[in-house]
Structure 1
Amino acid sequence: MKTVQISTFKAECLSLLDEVSRTKERLTVTRHGKPLVIINPVENQKPRKGFGIAKGKIKIQGDIVEPALGLSEWEVLS
């Protein structure tokens, strides 16, 4: 596990985070020689399903394009 002082972390934050991501090695940030935070790499994340996630779970009944009420039933139009 790599250890850096907080001043170094502040100056090189992005490159250190890229290194943690690339090497999968934890990073300890210290202040006055005492551990302040430990940065862990993200474990393997499964990609989220996108389009089509609800396929087969929803049943459409009736016409989904036409209004639910006829135009004569809308109070606003009267």
Structure 2
Amino acid sequence: METIIVKPKNKEELELVSVLLKRMNIRAHVQKKTIIQKKKIKEQFLESLEGRLKEVQLHMAGKIKLKSWDEVYKDL
């Protein structure tokens, strides 16, 4: 069996494709996993951002020293 992935732009397109597949007697499955994955990625980004902001605050308070651009560039 082959798999076809369809990514409708909106709810109306999803309904249209679902009706079409049903009329053609083609089994279809709507997967909402991508929404969950996007939320997880967003949460990870925000957590990372909060950590970076704390580092900047500590640096500005003189408690830690951050790498210079040259040091970061060399690490790449």
Give TM-score, length-normalised by structure 1.
0.26
Q: Larger strand proportion, structure 1 or 2?
A: 1
Q: Larger helix proportion, structure 1 or 2?
A: 2
Larger relative CO (CA 8 A, sep 6+): 1 or 2? Answer: 1
Highest CA radius of gyration, 1 or 2?
A: 1
